[in-house]
Every structure is written in structure tokens, then in C-alpha cells.
Amino acid sequence: MSSDDRDGWEARVAAAWADETIDDQRRIEVVQVLADEAPHPALGEFELGGAYDSGGHEVEADRHYTAATAAGLDAVDPDRAARMVVQHASTLRNIGRVDEAIAMLRDAPEHPATGAAPRVFLALALHSAGRADEALRVAVEALEPTLPRYHRSVKAYAAALTET
């Protein structure tokens, strides 16, 4: 596939996600067609996982996210791979695989495509695991760099949440 073809595919993917006139089931159908035409299988699996995830079909989303990883999404599209960590971990949390979600998010590298999202979703997963103090600490630490001041105090308060 040429770069023009890939650009066209990317534009069609963006349009499918931006189309607010279609319901979740129709979006899955549209993305399935796009996935079949993807310039690389990992890209198609990622987008299809996202469509199922967005439509509330987390078990199916998990299958596609796992396939995207196996197909080498990290080498094909590092931005999508970074986003997939957040999306897949959120899916795992939603289907009760909280420990896997926590591990995935703890290992998530920093990436401009996700910003603080991995830490925010880690806080949610920790909360789901019943680890409220740790969840709050992660959330506060994710927020701290955005504050105009009070950095030292906020860091100390966050650390105190999990000190025994």
C-alpha cells in the first residue's frame, strides 16, 4: 500500500470515528470493512478492538487488542500501540481482569499520544481492586505536574497516602 493509499485509509478511519450519525453496531460494521482493508493486520485489529470496546463489547475488544499486539502494532504504529495500552487495560478492568490491567498500566511507557492517561486509568484499576489509597496517590501524582504551584506539598501528601 502506498503512502497515499494509507493516508486515504487513515482518513476513512478518522471519518468513521467522527461520524455521530451512526450507532455503535453500525460503527463496528464500518470499522470491520476498514480493518479488512488495513495496510497492516495490526492496524485493523486495533481499530476493530476500539470499535467493539466503544460499543460495549469488551470481551470481543480484548480478542482484537490481543491480536493487534501479536501482529506487532508497537513496530507498525507506536502512537496506536501507546493508546492501545490504555484502551486494552481499561477493557481488562471492565471484564474483571483487574490485576492484568494494573500490570499493563504500570508497565506503560510515557508517550505523547497518551499523556497522563495511563496513570489515570491505573488509578481507576487500583480503585476497582479495592486499593483506594494507592489509587488516589496515583491520580494525585498524575495531576501534580499540571499544577501552577504547591508541587512539594502535593507530592508529600500523595506519598503519605500509602506510607505505613
pLDDT (tens digit, 9 = 90+) per residue, 57-90? 999 999 999 999 999 999 999 999 999 999 999 9
Separation CA 58–CA 151 (nearest Å): 38
Domains of the chain: 3-101 (1.25.40.10)
- Predicted TM-score of the model (pTM): 0.92
For position 1, what pLDDT does the model report? 63
Q: Residues 78, 95: contact at Cβ < 8 Å?
A: no
- Given a cut of 90, whether residue 164 has pLDDT beyond it is no
Q: Is residue 91 predicted with pLDDT exceeding 80?
A: yes
pLDDT tens digits, one per residue of 119-150: 999 999 999 999 999 999 999 999 999 999 99
Q: What is the DSSP string of 4-65?
A: HHHHHHHHHHHHHHH-TTS-HHHHHHHHHHHHHT-SSHHHHHHHHHHHHHHTT-HHHHHHHH
Contacts of 84 by beta carbon, 8 Å cutoff, 6+ apart: 46, 49, 65, 68, 69, 73
Cell numbers at 101, concatenated = 490491567
